[in-house]
Structure 1
Amino acid sequence: MDIAGTRERWRSTYQMRRDQAKDLVDRIPIIGRLISEFVRIEFIDRCMLIAAQGLLALVPVLVVLSAFFPTLVGDAVGQFSSASGVGKSGTTIIQNELDPATVRTHTGYIGLAITIFSATSFSRAIQRMYERIWACKHIGGVSGLRRCLLWLIGWLMTLQIFAAIKGIISGLDGLLGNGFEFFLQGLLMTGVWLVTSWALLFGRVPWHRLLLGAALTGYLGVIYNQGSALVMPPYVRNNAEQFGTLGIILAVSSWLIGYAAIMVASALLGRVISEDPTVRKVVGSWRPVVAWARRFSSPAAPTPPTADPDSRPAGP
């Protein structure tokens, strides 16, 4: 075996691929900026941090709230279980392992308050992610904690609303019905993430610059949830058979890592694409058309009558 020849072929192949990548970056500058931005924000660390906070803070608060207020947050827990692919089998296993009366007895209302406040670490991780992407200074302290707590409460309420809306539109069948359901879910999720990014950034970034990232997060999240409903239930079931409740926790953590990757990548893509000179030039070229359309669609203002130069005011 010619080891020297093999090493030389590998080296030449590597150099050729590297030169091709550099040429692609030179021809399409946005790719080079995307790569540098992914490195700057520490993409993998951001995803792992959000997923870890979701597993350690968000999941316990859902369990505790469902034990204390089953009628208020039952739909939210069901929505989260459905989105993460836990399904009915995984939920049944968790319910058999955790008795709501025991949870209420051992937790108490003081423990409930502590659990809710500790769950703000999940929203703080999302806040730091947006601040890192948009290069904004971190806002902490009482104001930051209050904003994160309000966002967490609003997010739980949104899960309840989504569960109700999903129950209403789930009766739509056919290609048209499924397309309308996908469009409506993506639109609602876009609104949620648009408000989320604007609120956690304390309004320091304008709405229109956050819109693309929110739309990517919303629609990619809907696709991810629909795919999870097909892929995750067998995976959760196999893990539960092997490891019990621990297997379900491992499956949920895997799902959270994937969703966190969608959140971080979508927000970063939204900023890079919206700030790209070529994209801004294309968008700017449509402004005269939009202005003309607005001028054409708006009713013309009545022209004031002109005075007749030959007319003279009547004398006394």
Structure 2
Amino acid sequence: MSRRNRAAPPARTWWQVLRAVAHDVWEQGRTIELLQRSMAFAALFFVTLVPLLIVIAAAFPSRGSGIAEWITDGLGLTGKGATAVTRLFVSRGQVLSTTTGFGLAALAVFGVSLMAAVQGVYERIWRLDRGPWHAVWRQTLGLAGLIGYIVLAAWSSTPWRHSTFQPTARIAATTIGGVLLFWWLQHLLLAGRVPPRDLLPGAVATVAALTGLRLFSRLVFSPLLVSNAVSYGTVGTVLVVQSWLIGVGYTVYGGALAGRGVVRARRGP
């Protein structure tokens, strides 16, 4: 049969593409054990990255409250809920007076383990071989980029405070910065083995999922945190924050899964 007479495959509707993406995300999520990976992400983030962020935020010259402000914003907290989270973290002066150079270096080394875990999941999502051990510089650079974005997100509420321009600037900084971060982070950790154009949908999906998580947190986690803080004290607050970090892990990995699903659906069966 000639190429001219060969029938072209029918175009897929948006509903068919959406169903294909959802099915692919579901199947791949089961394959990579998305729940377990997200719980591991939350544990590593809280144990390795939060202490490092506390030290960096303490030395950062801004009027914000550093990591506490970023968490309260991500959870959509105000009033008693924000106060409960802020109490988890010691004052800036106490952090700077008790932190040593060795302790800071140890925190940075342990923080790289979080990026190693993220890299491993990204490689499983795209079905790639494990990267070589000597590529740890990529994980270190990725950690620096993630910290820089969190600092930017926390600092974005400081300029033009109480002005009409401030909310727009903050949304632009966190949204555009988030898309660029997760686009670059995937490309960096995967060592360029996936074309950049195929990684962009995952970055957009990740930021969209983070936005949805913030709305969900405002409705669910915010009142839950207040009630847990009253009932269980600091332990209750930690449990809610840890649950929110599991949700963050879901969005980071689920966004990459959705991006890969979009690429596969776009290419067709």
Tell me, yes or no, whether TM beats 0.5: yes
Structure showing greater radius of gyration is 1
From 112, 132, 152, give the equivalent of 1:120. Answer: 112
Flag the 1:44–1:94 CA change in 2: closer, same or farther, 3 A: closer
Deviations 1:276-308 (Å, cap 9, x if unpaired)? 2xx336xxxxxxxxxxxxxxxxxxxxxxxxxxx
Higher helix proportion (structure 1 or 2): 1
Larger RCO: Structure 1 or Structure 2 (Cα < 8 Å, ≥ 6 residues apart)? 2
- How do 1:181-196 residues align onto structure 2 when only pairs under 5 Å count? 185-196=174-185
Cα distance in 2 between the residues matched to 1:182 and 1:200: 26
From 44, 55, 61, give the equivalent of 1:71. Answer: 61
Match of 1:137 in 2: 129
Flag the 1:172–1:207 CA change in 2: closer, same or farther, 3 A: farther
Give the TM-score, by structure 2 length. Answer: 0.77
Q: What's the CA shift for 1:161?
A: 2.5
Match of 1:46 in 2: 37
Q: What's the CA shift for 1:35?
A: 3.7
Deviations 1:188-215 (Å, cap 9, x if unpaired)? 3212211111111111111110111111
CA contact (8 A) 2:202 2:259 kept: yes
From 205, 208, 211, give the equivalent of 2:194. Answer: 205
Cα distance in 1 between the residues matched to 2:208 and 2:22: 22
Cα distance in 1 between the residues matched to 2:29 and 2:142: 26
Unaligned stretches of 5+ residues in structure 1: 1-24, 282-316
Give the count of matched residue pairs.
Answer: 247
| Superposed CA RMSD | 3.2
CA contact (8 A) 2:178 2:207 kept: yes
Corresponding position: 1:94 with 2:83: no
Match of 1:108 in 2: 100
Q: What's the CA shift for 1:33?
A: 4.1
Deviations 1:235-293 (Å, cap 9, x if unpaired)? 222222222222221111100111211222221121122112xx336xxxxxxxxxxxx
Cα distance in 2 between the residues matched to 1:59 and 1:248: 15
Q: What's the CA shift for 1:61?
A: 1.7
Give the TM-score, by structure 1 length. Answer: 0.67
Match of 1:287 in 2: none
CA contact (8 A) 1:187 1:219 kept: no
Q: What's the CA shift for 1:38?
A: 2.1
Q: What's the CA shift for 1:142?
A: 3.6
Q: Which amino acid aligns with 2:84?
A: G
SS in 1 for 2:192: coil
Cα distance in 2 between the residues matched to 1:193 and 1:266: 9
SS in 1 for 2:87: helix
Q: What's the CA shift for 1:166?
A: 4.5
Cα distance in 2 between the residues matched to 1:127 and 1:194: 13
Cα distance in 2 between the residues matched to 1:124 and 1:74: 30
Match of 1:246 in 2: 235
Cα distance in 2 between the residues matched to 1:43 and 1:83: 21
Flag the 1:99–1:162 CA change in 2: closer, same or farther, 3 A: closer
Unaligned stretches of 5+ residues in structure 2: 1-15
